[in-house]
Structure 1
Amino acid sequence: MEKRLGKELARGGEGVVYQLEERVDVLVKVYHARVLQDARSAARLEQKIAAMTANQRLRGLDRAAWPLRQLYDPNSGRWCGYAMRRQAGISLQGLLGAPQNMREFAPNWNRLHLVRLCLDFLETIEILSAERTLPVDFNPCNFLVDVTTARCAFIDCDGYQFLDAAGNLHLCEAVRPDLAAPELLERSRWSEASVKPASLRFSVGMVLFFILNLGNNPYRHRNGNDPVDNLRVGICGLGKDADCPMPPGPWYVIWSHMSFDLKNLFIRCFRDGHADAAARPAIAEWREALERYEYRLRSGKADAALIPARAKLPATNTN
C-alpha cells in the first residue's frame, strides 16, 4: 500500500529522512537521485538493505533505526530507500558538544548517568557484533540519548558493515576521522576492503572517552595541534609519561578522578593500541571496568560530579 511522506526531518550526503503521515513511529530514508543514478552502486546498496531487512534479530532491536522494509518510488516502481523505526533523543554531539548543552538538556545528570550511557552503548555494540555487524562510522550525531533513561539509540544503520546470512559481506563507505582507528585513516577506497573488529574496538574506546570526558578527544594536548593529525601519528596526552600533556582545565580534572582500571584501558587503547591493534581492550573489559566504576560512584568512593571541584592529587589517584 502506498504511504504518503510527511515533513522532512534530516538531510545528509546520501539521502533525506522523512516521517510518514500515517505512522509517527516510522521514518523513511529516500536516497538522493545522484546516489541511485550509478546503477552498480545503487544495486549494491539495494542488496545490502534487502539483506539487512532479512535479519530478524536486528529488525526487532528497539534501540536501533535498523532497516525494516524496502521503499519503492510509486511513480517509477524503482527501489529508492527503506523504512525504519523512529528513535528519539538528543545526539551525543548535541548533548556533549558544548558545556552549556549539558546544563540545558540534562541539568540533573552526574557521572552515574554517563556510566549508564556507556554501558547501554556497549550493550548494543555487543548485540550488533553477535550478528556480525560493525557500526564502523562512529559519528556522535548518529547516537541519540534519552536523557530521562540514559539510553543510547543507534541511527544511520545503513552505513554499517554487515555480513548477511548467505555469507555476503556488505561494506561501509566512509568514517568520521576524529573517532576512527588510525589504520582506517589511510584508506582511499572504502568499497574494496573490510574493517576488522580491532578497528571497532578502537572506536568504541573513542566514544567511551568522548562520553566520560564530556566531548573531549584523547588526542588533544597542550600544544593545540589538530586531534586528527595527532591521532594519525599517535600523539596522545594520556598517562604520566606522555610527552604532550593533556590541556589544563576540566578535562584534566575529570581524568584525575577516573578509576585506575579505566585509565589503564584508555592508555592501552590509544597509546599501546595505536600501533598494536591486539592491545586494544575487548568490549567485555570496558564493561567490567565501567561496572566497577559505577559501584565506586554509588558507594561514594568516587566523586560523582560531572566535573569535580578540583583535580585529585597524584598521591591519592588510585583505587
Structure 2
Amino acid sequence: MTYSKGDVVYDYNSKPKVLGEIIGSGGQGNVYELEGSSFLVKIFHSERLKEEEENLVKKLETQIKMKGSIKQTNVSWPQVAVYSQDKSYLGYAMKKMCGIPLKYLAHPKLYEKKFPDITRENMIILMISLVDTISKLHELDIYLGDINLENILCNPKTWKISLIDADSYQIHDYPCPVGRPEMTPLEHHGKDFKYIIRTKESDCFSLAILIFQCFMFGRHPYDNIGGGNPVENLENGRFPYGPGGSAPGRDGAVPQGNWYNLWSHLSFNIKGLFMQTFKEGASNPESRASLDEWRRGLQQYLSNIKSDYFTNEVYPKFPKPREE
C-alpha cells in the first residue's frame, strides 16, 4: 500500500494519527508531516519491509531505547514505532527539524538565494555546530556513515545544524546500510555498505569532504584538471590543492574557475587539516584529522576572521594578498 495525505497510521496503543503532506522521498521510504503535530513519520517502502522487516524492527527498538541519551542533541531520532491498522510495522515517528539542507549552501549560485546574508563567520559557526553534534554521537558509539549535504539542515537564524535520516546510523551491531561512494573513504570502496563497520576515522573522512564542499561551494576535494570522476580521483589520492600540486592549467591541477581564490582565503590550519586528511589520510585512516582537531582549527579560523586577518566574505573573487 502507498500512503498519502489523509491516510491514518497508528502508534503502539492503536491511537490513530493522520498523515499530512509528503515532504521527502528516498530509496528507503517516504517522510510525511503529521497533522496537528510537531513530529514527522517515515514509512518504509513495502519492498524494503518485505526484505528486512525483522532487522529494521530490531534496530528501531534499539534506537527508541536510546532516545533519552539523544534528547539533548539536535538529531531527528526515532521516537516511537508506527503501524497500520492491523498492527503491521510501517516505520517510525521523529521530531521535525527546521532548517535548509546544506546542499543549498554548497552551491555558488543557490547560496545567495537561500542564505543571502551569510558571512564566513556564520559558515564556520555552522561547521563547529556540526563537529560538536557528531562528537556527541561518537561518545555514544553512534556513527553516521552516510554523511552528505542533503541529510544535514542549517538554521540561518542560529547557524546551528540539525541531522536527519538518523535511522540509517550505525548503532551497536546494526551497520549503516547506505552511503555515497564520493563521500566514502577508500577502505570502504567496493564493499556492500550493509556489511561495513564505520569508525571515527571513516566519519571524519566524510565530514572533511563535506566541510570542504561548504567552503568551496560544492567543489569535491578530489576534482582536478584531466582527472576522472571524484570517486576515481579519490581512489588514486589525487588531491590537487596545497604544496606539490600540478602547475595551474596542467593535468592534475586545481580546476579552472574561482576555486584557487576560495582555497587561498582558508586559514593555514584549515588547509593543513584538508591536506592531512585527503593526502596521507586517503589511504591511512589514522592520519586523518580528528574531530578535536577540526574544532580547534575552525575555532582558530573564526578568531582570525574576527581579528581581520582573513576575509569575512564567503565567496571572494580574488586570491588572498600575500602581504596580509
One fold, TM greater than 0.5? yes
Q: CA deviation at 1:204?
A: 1.4
2:91 pairs with one of 81, 84, 105: 81
In structure 2, what residue type is equivalent to 1:177?
Answer: P
Kept in 1, the 8 Å contact 2:105–2:214? The answer is: no
Question: SS where residue 33 of structure 2 aligns?
Answer: strand
Question: SS where residue 57 of structure 2 aligns?
Answer: helix
2:78 pairs with one of 67, 75, 86: 67
Matches of residues 262-273 of structure 1 in structure 2 within 5 Å?
262-273=270-281
Q: Find the counterpart in structure 2 of residue 166 from structure 1.
A: none
Q: CA deviation at 1:249?
A: 2.6
Which sits farther off after the overlay, 3-12 or 277-286? 3-12
Q: Find the counterpart in structure 1 of residue 130 from structure 2.
A: 121
Q: Which runs of 4+ in 1 moved over 4 A?
A: none
Do residues 110 (structure 1) and 140 (structure 2) align?
A: no
Kept in 2, the 8 Å contact 1:18–1:28? The answer is: yes
Higher helix residue share: 1
Q: Find the counterpart in structure 2 of residue 178 from structure 1.
A: 182
Do residues 241 (structure 1) and 244 (structure 2) align?
A: yes
Q: CA deviation at 1:21?
A: 1.1
Q: Find the counterpart in structure 2 of residue 22 from structure 1.
A: 36
Kept in 1, the 8 Å contact 2:222–2:238? The answer is: yes
Kept in 1, the 8 Å contact 2:179–2:193? The answer is: no
Give per-residue Cα distances to partners, 1:17-52, cap 9 Å, x unaligned: 1111121x10000111111112xx211111111101
Do residues 231 (structure 1) and 243 (structure 2) align?
A: no
Q: Find the counterpart in structure 1 of residue 223 from structure 2.
A: 220
Question: How many residues are paired up?
Answer: 305
Q: CA deviation at 1:242?
A: 1.9
Q: Find the counterpart in structure 2 of residue 12 from structure 1.
A: 26
Unpaired runs of 5+ residues, structure 1, are 164-168
Q: CA deviation at 1:269?
A: 0.1
Q: Find the counterpart in structure 1 of residue 8 from structure 2.
A: none
Q: Find the counterpart in structure 2 of residue 35 from structure 1.
A: 48
Question: SS where residue 140 of structure 1 aligns?
Answer: coil
Q: Find the counterpart in structure 1 of residue 5 from structure 2.
A: none
Kept in 2, the 8 Å contact 1:58–1:66? The answer is: no
Which sits farther off after the overlay, 234-243 or 257-266? 234-243
Do the aligned partners of residues 192 and 307 (structure 1) sit closer, same or farther apart at CA in structure 2, a change above 3 Å counting? closer
Q: How many Å separate the matches in 1 of 2:259 and 2:54?
A: 46
Q: CA deviation at 1:221?
A: 1.1
Which sits farther off after the overlay, 137-146 or 60-69? 60-69
Give per-residue Cα distances to partners, 1:186-245, cap 9 Å, x unaligned: 21x332341222111111111111112222211011225311211122111121202422
1:197 pairs with one of 193, 196, 200: 200
**TM-score, normalising length from structure 1?**
0.91
Do the aligned partners of residues 307 and 205 (structure 1) sit closer, same or farther apart at CA in structure 2, a change above 3 Å counting? same
Give per-residue Cα distances to partners, 1:91-123, cap 9 Å, x unaligned: 111232x32211111111111111011000001
Kept in 2, the 8 Å contact 1:3–1:22? The answer is: no
Kept in 2, the 8 Å contact 1:91–1:144? The answer is: yes
Do residues 304 (structure 1) and 308 (structure 2) align?
A: no
In structure 2, what residue type is equivalent to 1:21?
Answer: E
Kept in 2, the 8 Å contact 1:59–1:67? The answer is: no
Q: How many Å separate the matches in 2 of 1:300 and 1:218?
A: 27
In structure 1, what residue type is equivalent to 2:53?
Answer: A
- Percent identical among aligned pairs is 28
Q: CA deviation at 1:85?
A: 0.4
Do residues 206 (structure 1) and 206 (structure 2) align?
A: no
Unpaired runs of 5+ residues, structure 2, are 1-14, 247-251
CA RMSD between the two structures: 1.5
2:157 pairs with one of 122, 141, 148: 148
